[in-house]
């Protein structure tokens, strides 16, 4: 009788070990299947506009897709779009601005204060979308990502302002704008509307980490 009980106990232990092993293999497989977080720098991303200097501002927005890390002309697969100092997101409603792109995604934006490296995830952030009369990233000097100096006529990124985005398809990215000028040379005002920025993008659905 004791031998039978020992045999049964051994079988139970082996079954438990088997299931624990399978669960651990599945967990490891899930980790392995995650795509790596993408880190990149975009240099001289052109964001031209028409008008200004008292004239109505217009012109097509330059769209950017975090997945490809490139400018896009797609009407659907874009996340953010630049024109002058204005940044639109592919989510929400039309603001009423001339020549703005049609929004058909679920993108949103949040502005975080801190160092770029210290923004390690998108947890517990509130994401705002474009809306009638307002962009998710506020426009105007000292309102969003930049400061404009009337003395020097220079647009400068505000230090410590990190832009965190929910993309059009529900992924997450963070952006640090480094310069508004061609080759990061703010001494040449004619070289304005050319962004250089760092970004980190997590291509995995439901994953908010930037590490």
Q: What is the pLDDT of residues 17-38, one digit of tens each?
A: 555 555 555 554 555 689 999 9
Strand partners, 55: 52
Predicted confidence at residue 42, as pLDDT, reads 98
Predicted confidence at residue 152, as pLDDT, reads 94
Helix (H), strand (E), coil (C) string for 147-208: EEECCCCEEEECCCEEEEEECCCCCEEEEEEEEEEHHHCCCCHHHEEEEEEEEEEECCCCCC
Residue 119 has pLDDT above 60, yes or no: yes
Predicted confidence at residue 180, as pLDDT, reads 98
Q: What pLDDT band is residue 53 in, cutting at 50, 70 and 90? A: confident
Distances from the Cα of 12 to the Cαs of 24, 40, 135, in angstroms?
A: 18, 51, 61
| Burial class, 37, CB count within 10 angstroms (exposed 0-12 / middle 13-18 / buried 19+) | middle
**Tokens standing for 184?**
């990061």
Q: What is the pLDDT of residues 66-107, one digit of tens each?
A: 999 999 999 999 999 999 999 999 999 999 999 999 999 999
pTM of the model: 0.84
Predicted confidence at residue 2, as pLDDT, reads 47
Q: What pLDDT band is residue 52 in, cutting at 50, 70 and 90? A: confident
> What average pLDDT does range 181-195 have in this prediction?
96
Q: How many CA atoms lie within 13 A of 86 on its CB side?
A: 21
Q: What is the pLDDT of residues 142-179, one digit of tens each?
A: 999 999 999 999 999 999 999 999 999 999 999 999 99
Predicted confidence at residue 158, as pLDDT, reads 98
Predicted confidence at residue 16, as pLDDT, reads 47
Residue 15 has pLDDT above 70, yes or no: no
Predicted confidence at residue 86, as pLDDT, reads 98
Predicted confidence at residue 54, as pLDDT, reads 85
Q: DSSP secondary structure string, the chain?
A: -HHHHHHHHHHHHHHHHHHHHHHHHHHHHHHHHSPPPEEEEEEEEE---EEETTEEEE---EEEETTTTEEE--SSS-SEEEETTEEEESBB---S-TTPPPP-SB-EEEEEES-GGG--B-TTPPPB-BBTTB-SS--STTTSSEEEETTTTEEEEPTTEEEEEE-TTS-EEEEEEEEEEGGG-TT-GGGEEEEEEEEEEE-STT--B--
Q: Where are the domains of the chain?
A: 1-33, 36-202
Predicted confidence at residue 21, as pLDDT, reads 54
């Amino acid at each position: 009788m004791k031998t039978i009980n020992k045999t049964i106990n051994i079988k139970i232990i082996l079954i438990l070990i088997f299931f624990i092993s399978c669960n651990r293999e599945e967990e490891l497989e899930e980790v392995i299947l995650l795509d790596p977080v993408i880190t990149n720098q975009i240099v001289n991303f052109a964001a031209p506009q028409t008008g200004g200097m008292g004239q109505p501002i217009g012109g097509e927005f330059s769209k950017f897709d975090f997945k490809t890390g490139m400018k896009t002309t797609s009407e659907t697969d874009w996340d953010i779009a630049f024109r002058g100092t204005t940044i639109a997101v592919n989510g929400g409603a039309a603001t009423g601005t001339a020549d703005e792109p049609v929004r058909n995604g679920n993108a949103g934006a949040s502005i975080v204060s801190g160092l770029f490296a210290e923004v390690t995830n998108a947890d517990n952030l509130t994401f705002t979308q474009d809306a009638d009369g307002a962009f998710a990233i506020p426009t105007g000097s000292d309102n969003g990502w930049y400061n404009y100096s009337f003395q020097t006529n220079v647009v400068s990124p505000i230090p410590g302002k990190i832009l965190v985005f929910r993309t059009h398809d529900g992924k997450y990215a963070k952006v640090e704008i480094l310069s508004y000028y061609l080759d990061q040379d703010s001494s040449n005002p004619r070289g304005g509307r050319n962004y250089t920025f760092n970004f980190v993008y997590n291509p995995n659905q439901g994953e908010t980490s930037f590490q």
